[in-house]
Chains A and B, each alone.
Chain A
Amino acid sequence: MAEQTMVATKHPVRRPAVHEWLRVKKKFPHLWCPGCGIGIVLGGTIRALESLGYSKDEVVMVAGIGCTGRIPVYVDCNTLHTTHGRALSFATGVKLARPDLKVMTFMGDGDALAIGGNHFIHAARRNIDITAIIVNNAIYGMTGGQCSPTTPLGKRATTAVYGSVEPPFDTCELAKSAGASFVARSTVYHVKHVEQMIRMALEHKGFSVVEIISNCHTYYGRINMEGGAVEMVKAMREKSIMVSETMDYEKARATGKPYVIGVLHRDTERPEYCELYEQMMQEAIGRK
């Protein structure tokens, strides 16, 4: 489509960022269900990276296993598709070895908070300069709709046939209390906001977490009778409240809306892990 435009016009037209960054020829069509919110996250990520002027060579995308975990394979940068739950451990190795590279991880809610929960809290505790994008669709998409640590109490899944009896995690609260120095939330309804949150996370030095509420209409929507992609995404508008100057986080939470979105926590004082390591190393060498 974009290539045709280039041929048709005399003046070269700048292709949209997504075309520059995607492995268009090699990897498409993608594997996601039509209407899946993960595409919004991918688009927002690329636009955020492009707007900040990152080159494809300096970006490393690391992912776990799941529908969300398939994001990096479509992007023309350094990409690493790891094991279920452990993306952050691989990313920690990449970042510590090459602090000059921009490292991002992509994980589903099960990936990040169930099997990968330990790696998640420890990456946050270290405050290592990695941007962790967590796509929360409140279910295991890839394996066919089993319940996850973010499935709301009472909601159904193929392994919570009569409704879940486990209270869910609040991803952002967990990240914040574990030490992440930038925590934000958005939803795939808020397309521009997704991009903005990712951009701010990328600009932040330290462990930054962006939780993006997404729709898995194929499983969650169907099992819980919440409709298809359109209905689910529309409902996100009603269920969200954005923090702002007049609406602080506590006030927003008090409204009882399920998704408080925006930048929920930012700490620019907390030292970043790779910088501390570098300092320690220089001191050790000096002492030798």
Chain B
Amino acid sequence: MNSPVYEPFLQKPRSFYDTYERKSGIKEVTHYCPGCGHGELHKMIAEAIDEFEIADRTVLISPVGCSVFAYYYFDVGNVQAAHGRAPAVGTGVQRARPHSIVMSYQGDGDLAAIGLNEILQAANRGEKMVVFFVNNAIYGMTGGQMAPTTLPGMTTTTSPGGRKVEDSGAPLRMAELISQLEAPVYVARGALCSAKDISRTRRLVRKAMKVQVEGRGFAFVEVLSACPTGWGMTPPDSYQWIHEKMKPYFPLDVFVDRTDETFTAPAPKEPVPLEKYHEVMRIDSSDQLSFPPAQPLDPKYANPRLKIAGFGGQGVLLLGLGLAQCGMMEGRRVSWLPSYGPEMRGGTAHCHVNISDDEIGSPLVSQPTVLIAMNQPSLEKFESQVAARGLVLLNTSMISKRPDRDDLEVLDVAASEMAQKLGNPRAANMIMLGAYAGYTGMIGEKTIEAALGAIIKKRHLIELNVKAVAEGFALGRAARG
């Protein structure tokens, strides 16, 4: 048995540091206990890095566990991660630097308990990384507590009477679990207990690294590894125990190997030049038209605070958006605030719109100067909020009652019926928009036409909506007399 610990490696891989300067105390030996499997696996990984000459672009994610200090040893880019999160951290590194070779190195508490979600999801996404999973059936670092891989009946500091499957479940077979997913390219289990197993494991490690060099995707190598300290055994007894007890439960195998499939790595993404950003992000406003601000037909209509309400599906949010868009295109300050969430699921919707010559304070319209009510519940709900002598536009197709208050100025618009005549009852909102603009003079008719182009995504509906606006506008103007 060639145990690497507490003696310098005879032939140190190049991607190992010569001396471990990040370590306190003796710089020549690792921090692992005698007989521990971590050091042996480190060496195999380093040898593979050497062979493929990838040290410069390799990033090792160290876990929390006994191998938390893996970065003492590997002369590669090193990132230390929170307990169980190495696959997520590795995902971040790999996606940010697509040319990188990312290795996640984790113990069984780290990977199979606290980090189970992160490992399964990274494997399922097929992240380009290799995960080395050290299964020593115990929590080494924290002093020998039960791990998800602790064998049934095995005594640990938190399973003093032996692991009871009824209480703690059966040990997790991670390699088998991961091999059930679609994405992984290579999934295997090795062991570090005999010369034969060690050389076989070395081949598994090499192959998993090759998957990374070729950029094929996710590779996972589980390694049954001795923790003589945690198990309370001598190193030789530990190796025997792996052989006798662990292997029967965790069979050595290659579960997935898709390394023979033909594969062409996707071409790297071309960066978009900065000059193109506005266009690509759809915030290029260079073709946005602007109009001189329309003047209200009565000063009392200036700086309106609008509340627009109706059933979900009546397009009240779009109506509000249209008003805000128009106001903005006429150089005014505007705000649009929707009711959102469960409120909308109840079937009613409303929004708050401010159009103002001055800076807008509250976007919330608690005392509207204009209420556009598309249905009767909206009138009932909001009538009392309307400011004294405020304007109310009623969709009389849906509202049979009159406002209770007598100080309000009311404009009746049979919007739904008018829209129906145009061929689509859903255009009632645009009839209302036109009616408001025509009646108050607060928005120019041309502005509305241009605004609809900006806010209506379905191009074929624009013509109908423009017609609806025109009818509403004419009605509003006529009502003014």
Q: Do chains A and B stick together as partners?
A: no
- List residues of chain A with CB under 8 Å of any chain B CB: none
Measuring CB to CB, which residues of chain B are less than 8 angstroms from any residue of chain A? none
